[in-house]
Amino acid sequence: MVYRCWLFILLLGVLKCCIATELTFELPDSAKECFHEEIRKNTSCTLEFQVVTGGQYDVDVVLEDPRGQVLYKQVKMQFDSHNFVAQETGIYKVCFSNEFSTFSHKLVYMDFQVGDEQPLPGIGEHATVLTQLEASAQDIHKSLNTILDYQTHHRLREAQGRKRAEDLNERVLWWSIMETLAVITIAVGQVLVLKNFFTEKKPLNYTQFK
């Protein structure tokens, strides 16, 4: 019973160790969105993004340090991941631009991880070898984080696939409507032409020309 209670407490700590900024936001056409994060020197960071819906599923991305120097830049990218180490303490800025598009509204996912993940409570302070229980809890912690990443990417792929299917379905619908209208127009035209062939024409009265 004690084993289960301690393991449960350790697993609760998994939910409190996340220090990443993870969000999904709308990026209108001809718009630009910037996000700021204060980062200390020598902190390892990871920037990951993916365009979920909209247009050609691409955006412009720029990451700048506190001095305004560009650390990372991509043009019309669908998704990517960038790792870097902060060279100085300050406010870092990442901007997503859709200014090249005049009518495509987009949905963008961003995950900005700053620093290393916090250890489980009661384990990070250990100076001795971990016990079997602590090692098991740490393995479960890593596995849960991996599962969360897989679930996030699966939801993104599912949303992107659903949007593509909806767009394709809409195109097929409009194409079917246009084909139906074209068939009806051709059918009516053929009926009128055939009707004109079988209509009796009044003979000309040549006396009126004398």
Residue 70 to residue 65: CA distance in whole angstroms: 7
User: Does 179 reside within a domain?
Assistant: yes
Contact status, residue 83 vs residue 46, Cβ threshold 8 Å: yes
User: Does 206 reside within a domain?
Assistant: no
Measuring CA to CA, which residue among 133, 66, 124, 63 is closest to residue 96? 63
Q: Are residues 73 and 155 in the same domain?
A: no
User: Does 94 reside within a domain?
Assistant: yes
Asked if residue 179 has pLDDT above 70, the reply is yes
Q: What is the mean pLDDT of residues 38-57?
A: 88
At 116-167, the pLDDT tens digits run: 666 666 655 555 656 777 777 777 877 887 787 777 777 777 777 777 788 8
Average pLDDT in the chain: 78
Could you list the residue range(s) of the whole structural domain that residue 163 is in?
Answer: 130-193
Confidence of residue 16 (pLDDT cuts 50, 70, 90): very low
Confidence of residue 8 (pLDDT cuts 50, 70, 90): very low
Structure confidence at residue 89 (pLDDT): 92
At 96-129, the pLDDT tens digits run: 999 888 888 888 988 888 876 666 666 555 556 5
User: Does 85 reside within a domain?
Assistant: yes
Q: What is the mean pLDDT of residues 50-71?
A: 90
Total domains in the chain come to 2
Q: Are residues 140 and 88 in the same domain?
A: no
Residue 196 to residue 138: CA distance in whole angstroms: 87
Final residue of a structural domain among 86, 118, 150 = 118
Final residue of a structural domain among 64, 90, 118 = 118
The residue to which tokens 């489980």 are assigned: 120
Residue 80 to residue 63: CA distance in whole angstroms: 13
User: Does 205 reside within a domain?
Assistant: no
